[in-house]
Amino acid sequence: MLPTADGQSSGYASYRIKTFGAGLEDFRFSKYPRVILKAKEAIPDPAIVGFLVCALERPPVMTGLIFCDHRHRFPEGLPAHTPPVERWFEYNGYSVVQTRGGGLYVIAHWLYENGAVGPFFSVQ
């Protein structure tokens, strides 16, 4: 058995797991999909609420997997619905939607770009 830092011989001693008291701000991806990194590079504006992957227009809202929400209202990489969309515009090659509350969401990747049967994990 290998020795550990605390003198015990358990193989699990080197793992740290935070469970109690953890919030959304404690959870971050160590590596984002390439489509998110490219969109963040093209639109580095701090006013952006989030970047949507596998976005789908479902009037009056947009849905998709949200990343980089600086307000920490949405869990990273989980499905989210935007508030009702008021206007669309193009910026640096990306669609940006402005919602009723004034929030801006960047469409980093559309659902139809996955192909007919492409799974999410194939998004790069």
Model confidence over 86-102: pLDDT tens digits? 999 999 999 999 999 89
Q: Give the Å distances, CA to CA, from 13 to 5, 19, 20.
A: 8, 16, 18
Q: Share the mean pLDDT of the chain.
A: 78
Model confidence over 54-70: pLDDT tens digits?
999 999 999 999 998 87
89 Rama class: left (phi>0) / alpha (psi -120 to 50) / beta: beta
* pLDDT value for 117: 47
* pLDDT value for 78: 87
